Amino acid sequence: MFDRTRERPHDNTLDPTLDVTEIFTSIQGEGPFMGRPAAFVRLSGCVKPLCPWCDTKHAWEPGESIPVATVADKVSSLGNDLVVITGGEPFLQWASGLKHLEALLIKKGLTVQYETSGKILIPSESKGFKVCSPKHLDDRWHYVQENSLRADCFKFVVKADLARVEGFVKDQGLAANRVWIMPLGDLGEDQLALSPGIWAFCVKKRFNFSPRLHTLFFNNQQGV
């Protein structure tokens, strides 16, 4: 993790920077790339309303401002073919530096995968694989409807709100093979308790089932 106490330089369009919470190497723990070794770039900043169950609240606050080229070099040095760019909400920084990072990473031959909430519009020009995880807060979905066409797949972390998720999928006209369902829980034991019911739901509805490997094995530990 980077030292957040360092002075943050001003943005410069000729030398774009990103506000970064952490960069590390691990294994993608959920969704369509589950099980693959990956470099993770966690960008800082999120979109309100914030999720009270979020397990990465440290990304809500400012991180360290780092030149895009430096981020790309660090990611490349980790030696993974897959790069997961997450947050917070990564697409908040698309115009200020993320689009430049994507271009550099793809030029290096890396696969770029995004984790987004869909609370803001996914850039149409992005060439990465977009995994969208819509949020239901304050009795409604906080989601930009156009993202139903721009995201590559959708994942939902659920506890007892299966009917609500099914309603969202129907309302947005999403094909079942674009949907991943996974159990909520900060602890592995919580996830295991919910998994049989979610498994049965996915079998019935033809959705993809995914555990959350990092939580299953490491509970709420950061940086794994």
What is the structure's pLDDT at 212?
85
| Separation of alpha carbons 151 and 140, rounded Å | 20
Structure tokens belonging to residue 28: 């993608």
pLDDT digits (tens, 9 = 90+) for 51-83: 888 878 889 899 999 999 999 999 999 999 999
Nearest Cα residue to 18 out of 45, 38, 40: 45
Helices (H), the chain: 68-77, 99-107, 147-150, 162-171, 188-205, 213-218
> Span 122-142, mean pLDDT?
96
> Span 183-197, mean pLDDT?
88
> Span 196-214, mean pLDDT?
94
What is the structure's pLDDT at 3?
39
Q: Output the average pLDDT for the chain.
A: 91
What is the structure's pLDDT at 14?
66
pLDDT at 11 over 50: no
Instruction: Report percent pLDDT > 90 for the chain.
Output: 76
pLDDT at 220 over 80: no
Nearest Cα residue to 19 out of 84, 64, 61: 64
**Residue 181: other Cβ atoms inside 10 A:** 22
String of DSSP letters for 162-189: HHHHHHHHHHTT--GGGEEEEE--SSHH
- Using an 8 Å Cβ cutoff, are 211 and 28 in contact? no
**Residue 20: other Cβ atoms inside 10 A:** 25
> Span 186-212, mean pLDDT?
92
pLDDT at 168 over 80: yes
What is the structure's pLDDT at 15?
79
> Span 9-25, mean pLDDT?
79
Nearest Cα residue to 136 out of 111, 110, 159: 159
> Span 115-124, mean pLDDT?
97
Tell me which architecture the domain covering 17-158 has in CATH. Alpha-Beta Barrel (3.20)
For residue 19, report the phi and psi dihedrals to the nearest 5 degrees: -85, 110
What is the structure's pLDDT at 53?
80
- Using an 8 Å Cβ cutoff, are 75 and 18 in contact? no
pLDDT at 222 over 80: no
What is the structure's pLDDT at 92?
97
pLDDT at 16 over 70: yes
Calculate the CA 44 to chain-centre distance: 12
| Separation of alpha carbons 87 and 60, rounded Å | 8
Calculate the CA 102 to chain-centre distance: 15
Task: Please give the angle made by the CA atoms of 108, 150 and 122, to the nearest 5 degrees.
Answer: 70
Q: Delimit the domains of the chain by residue range.
A: 17-158
